[in-house]
């Protein structure tokens, strides 16, 4: 028998941090339980990073309904928790970015740079998270 303490991997630590942060409660429907899944609020397919700010507790039913879509695409809005105050800016498909003191729409910035809006958003998220996007 080994006396070694089991170590949690990064994914397990993130899962537990999300569950404790969201109180084991689905952010979309409010159901509570210990069999929650972790959902990317902004899906990975749309550039959403694997960081705690983009991960939420979600019941299996809501996770299946939402799929790989952004919340505004499927009409699923957080009913409680840390995202309810941030819903407008998180759900805007063409968010306003602050560049210095100037407000710029993502679509305008992407057009100016000649890049895909998703690529620009990923670059912005990476700069905000220290390159984790």
Domain ranges of the chain: 1-85, 94-133
**What distance in Å separates the CA atoms of residue 18 and residue 53, rounded to the nearest whole number?**
9
Q: How many CB atoms lie within 10 A of CB 104?
A: 15
Q: pLDDT by residue (tens digit) across 41-51?
A: 888 888 788 88
DSSP class of 103: E
% residues pLDDT > 90 (the chain) = 14
Q: What residue has token string 């958003």?
A: 121
Distance of CA 46 to the CA centre of its chain: 10
Is the distance from CB of 104 to CB of 96 less than 8 angstroms? yes
Highest mean pLDDT among 6-10, 99-103, 114-118: 114-118
**What distance in Å separates the CA atoms of residue 35 and residue 110, rounded to the nearest whole number?**
40
Fold of 1-85: DNA Binding (I), subunit A (1.10.30)
φ, ψ at 55 (rounded to 5°): -110, 135
pLDDT of res. 55: 87
Is the distance from CB of 91 to CB of 72 less than 8 angstroms? yes
| pTM check: above 0.85 | no
C-alpha distances (whole Å) from 116 to each of 2, 47, 111, 121, 123 are 52, 12, 8, 9, 11
């Amino acid at each position: 028998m080994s006396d070694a303490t089991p170590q949690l991997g990064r994914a397990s630590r993130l899962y537990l941090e999300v569950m404790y942060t969201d109180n084991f409660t689905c952010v979309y429907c409010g159901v509570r339980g210990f069999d929650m899944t972790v959902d990317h609020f902004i899906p990975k397919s749309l550039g959403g990073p694997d960081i705690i700010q983009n991960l939420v507790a979600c019941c299996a039913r809501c996770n299946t309904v939402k799929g790989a879509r952004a919340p505004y695409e499927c009409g699923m809005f957080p009913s409680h928790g840390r995202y309810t105050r941030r819903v407008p800016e998180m759900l805007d498909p063409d968010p306003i970015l602050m560049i210095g003191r100037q407000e710029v729409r993502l679509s305008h910035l992407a057009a100016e740079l000649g890049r895909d809006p998703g690529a620009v958003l990923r670059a912005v998220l990476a700069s905000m998270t220290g390159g984790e996007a």
